[in-house]
Chain A
Amino acid sequence: GENVEQHPSTLSVQEGDSAVIKCTYSDSASNYFPWYKQELGKRPQLIIDIRSNVGEKKDQRIAVTLNKTAKHFSLHITETQPEDSAVYFCAASSYGNNRLAFGKGNQVVVIP
């Protein structure tokens, strides 16, 4: 089955700087790649996703890039703010698959 890995496990950034989290996946058939954000004590929520027919998708300060050849995708957060402090999970799936394979999560800490 699909295996998704995230690096680094913890990332500390100064407020206003950019944060980048990278995920790798193993199944070349995967074509859907969402990112979930989980604030402390809260439920995970989808913040952005990308499908394999595009290489990049942007929504305000967040963007996701996909490299199908290398089988990795990344979350980019620009102009980080304290409310960006959370755990971020990447995941992967493919059409016809009934579930998502989640990575173990990255803790992002934005230092004011």
Chain B
Amino acid sequence: NAGVTQTPKFRVLKTGQSMTLLCAQDMNHEYMYWYRQDPGMGLRLIHYSVGEGTTAKGEVPDGYNVSRLKKQNFLLGLESAAPSQTSVYFCASSLVSGTNEQYFGPGTRLTVT
């Protein structure tokens, strides 16, 4: 089992460029999450999904879009990157609900110049 994987590990973007972060899990989990982590701010939820074909907004969704076309994949898109989106992005998955262990991916470090 690979668990939760993220692609890419690092990326540098210029302001206005777009990109997609891919998260994949092989644990047959229903729930998937995208967080961003900034110094002193903890883990802030961007978007999440409670199953294939569903998405919902978290606490900091502006500037991001997501899609869950397949149960095992959760994509995070930045349509027009801004320096404020420089962060470390973590994907996580859990079996069901918010009261189960969340398994995190290794993270993607994104820098927007």
Residues of A within 8 A of B (CB): 9, 31-32, 34, 42-46, 49, 51, 89, 93-100, 102-105
Residues of A within 8 A of B78 (CB): none
User: Chain A at the B interface: mostly helix, strand, loop or mixed?
Assistant: loop
Residues of A within 8 A of B102 (CB): 46, 100
The size of the chain B interface, using a CB distance under 8 A, is 22
Q: Establish whether residues A104 and B42, one from each chain, have CB atoms under 8 Å apart when the complex forms.
A: yes
Residues of B within 8 A of A34 (CB): 101
Q: Does B48 contact A (CB under 8 A)?
A: yes
Give 9 CB contacts A-B under 8 Å: A34-B101, A43-B106, A93-B97, A96-B97, A98-B50, A99-B48, A99-B58, A102-B42, A102-B44
- Residues A95 and B42 in contact in the complex (CB < 8 Å), given A43-B105, A43-B107, A45-B104: no
The 10 A-B residue pairs whose C-beta atoms are closest, nearest first, are A104-B42, A93-B98, A32-B99, A43-B104, A97-B98, A102-B43, A99-B98, A46-B101, A105-B42, A44-B104
- Residues A95 and B99 in contact in the complex (CB < 8 Å), given A104-B42, A105-B42: yes
Q: Which of A44, A46, A49 has the most CB of B within 10 A?
A: A44
Residues of A within 8 A of B2 (CB): none
